[in-house]
Structure 1
Amino acid sequence: MKKCLIAATLGCAFFASTATADTIAGVYVGVQGWNMDTTGSFSDSSSNNGNFNFDDETNGAAYIALEHPVPFLPNVKVNHTDMATAGTTRLNSSFTFDGNLYTTQSDVYTDADIVATDVIFYYELFDNDLISFDVGLNGKYVDGTLIVEDRDSNTRGEQDFSGVIPMVYSRVQVGLPFTGLAAYAEGSYLSIDDHTVSDYQVAIAYSFIESLAVDMTLQLGYRNAQVDIEDLDDVYADLEYDGVFAGLEMHF
């Protein structure tokens, strides 16, 4: 797997050095509001994950990207996403967490306070008004605290976990010239050993300000993130987040 990723990166660097790109450096700054629906489970054992109900949440994401014309040197993007969610569930089966047993028909409060920070290094293979295509590598740093609480029995379990997950990244955008409209798809993916992690979004974008000083673009789309991890800091989780988002991007 590592050899394939290295080979792909070197190939992208070679191709990017001859591809069309911006002739000057550009900075992109964006914010998004994401209306998340969360489903899934977690525990401290692979044999008995609890299935939980989570409330819908509106969380935020923010990113900054730097693009430049220097050959072979990748562009960089940093994206920070809040994925916190919580809810109350009546258990239909027993499970353990943080050394505690939670029994069938117990009403438990669960809190999954997770944030993800993506550090993406990528190359522009094409970049013009009609189509752009980026490819690269993403180091997704996941940091979270999971809580399960049975308030009737005063039983509470809490577990922290964190780690860097290497992923393959790509982005494609298709524009409609002279209208300010575009559509894009962007995502990262990993499947290795017992871990499967993906994070993608598709959206329509409208550039409503285009000037020498700044471009401003509105975004409306759908985002889906799946986190299926086995034994990351003794945490086993299978969580899926999805929903619509709206965003604003500025290009300097």
Structure 2
Amino acid sequence: MERIKLLKEVRAMKKLTLLGLGSIFLLAGSSKAGPLIDFEASIGAIQQKPRGYVSYEAESDNDRIDVKNDARLGDKTKPWAKFKLEHPIPVIPNIKLAYMPMKFDGSGVLTRDINWGGRTYQANADFNLSVKLDRVDTTLYYNFPFIKTATAGKLDVEFGLNVRTIMFDGKLSGIEKVTGQSISESKSITLPIPMGHLAAEIRPISQVSLVGELNYISYSKNTYYDYATGLRLNSHGLLRTPLKPFVEVGYRYEKLKIDEQDVKTDLKVKGLYGLVGVRF
């Protein structure tokens, strides 16, 4: 009986969820609902050029692995997806979601002995390094009151809190100094990092706007920030449809200096990006 009751409750929840989603998209597609709920979705690609170092259970600065000079980590181009929802309720924050995978692989020959994960890797031997830094952004924000209205829509400023969840994985393979055997040590951690968030859009004319955002936090031995700035071409006023496509190109810079759970990094990742999306 309990199982039957649980199945009925699950079915009821599914129906309510589908009904709610259907109502939201119906409102979003309605011309009357335009001032009430605004959606924005975009997807594209971003260059990721890493610089800096990474270490795990390092005993000294000598155990830091330079990702470019030692491991020769190559530049990557990865997808970047973003979603944004704004509503007119003053107390409840608006929300932005974003996902960006980040993974680098490289190899080289160690010029010195390296301590990684409690084991000593032999100098003058081949090694491979893999670093993954996938992240999910969940941003709760508000629009500065009256600015958009006072500027007739030419300026919009947002402020709030961004929680960036980083899925870190660092793996080093090489030759152990003591035994001369091939070894591999890895470390995985998930870090939810709260960051202050500030964003702005300047639209001198309806079809062109300058966009930018900044996320920042500094505490203890950790400093983490990123900024992005871009040029957006809008179809506003050109198409008489609820969907308003746009194209955005720009530049993004990220600095990740962390000291958590025996993992130390001081990484910089930068590159150009391009996005296509719609507002509705």
Deviations 1:112-148 (Å, cap 9, x if unpaired)?
Answer: 1221111101011133531111011111111121111
Q: Which residue of 1 aligns with 2:245?
A: 216
- Whole-angstrom distance in 1 between the partners of 2:52 and 2:113: 16
- Whole-angstrom distance in 2 between the partners of 1:99 and 1:45: 6
- Whole-angstrom distance in 1 between the partners of 2:49 and 2:182: 28
Deviations 1:71-96 (Å, cap 9, x if unpaired)?
Answer: 12110111111111111233344322
**What are the residue-to-residue correspondences of 1:4-153 with 2, within 5 Å?**
23-45=35-57, 47=60, 48-52=63-67, 53-125=72-144, 126-127=147-148, 128-150=152-174, 153=181
TM-score of the pair, normalised by structure 2: 0.77
- Whole-angstrom distance in 2 between the partners of 1:218 and 1:195: 35
Taking every aligned residue pair, what percent have the same amino acid on both sides? 20
Deviations 1:15-43 (Å, cap 9, x if unpaired)?
Answer: xxxxxxx8311111111201111112211
Higher normalized strand content (fraction of residues): 1
* Bigger-Rg structure (1/2): 2
- Whole-angstrom distance in 2 between the partners of 1:26 and 1:177: 20
Q: 1:102 to 1:211 in 2, by over 3 A?
A: farther
Structure 1 runs not aligned, ≥5 long = 1-21
Query: What amino acid maps onto 1:172 in structure 2?
Result: A
> Displacement, 1:153?
4.6
Query: What amino acid maps onto 1:221 in structure 2?
Result: G
- Whole-angstrom distance in 1 between the partners of 2:46 and 2:162: 21
Q: How well do the aligned residues superpose, as a CA RMSD in angstroms?
A: 1.8
- Whole-angstrom distance in 1 between the partners of 2:78 and 2:115: 29
Higher normalized helix content (fraction of residues): 2
Structure 2 runs not aligned, ≥5 long = 1-33
Q: 3-state DSSP class of the match of 1:202?
A: strand
Which of 154, 165, 175 pairs up with 2:193? 165
Q: 3-state DSSP class of the match of 2:192?
A: strand
Q: 3-state DSSP class of the match of 1:121?
A: strand
TM-score of the pair, normalised by structure 1: 0.85
- Whole-angstrom distance in 2 between the partners of 1:171 and 1:93: 44
- Figure out how many residues of one structure are paired with residues of the other and give that number: 229
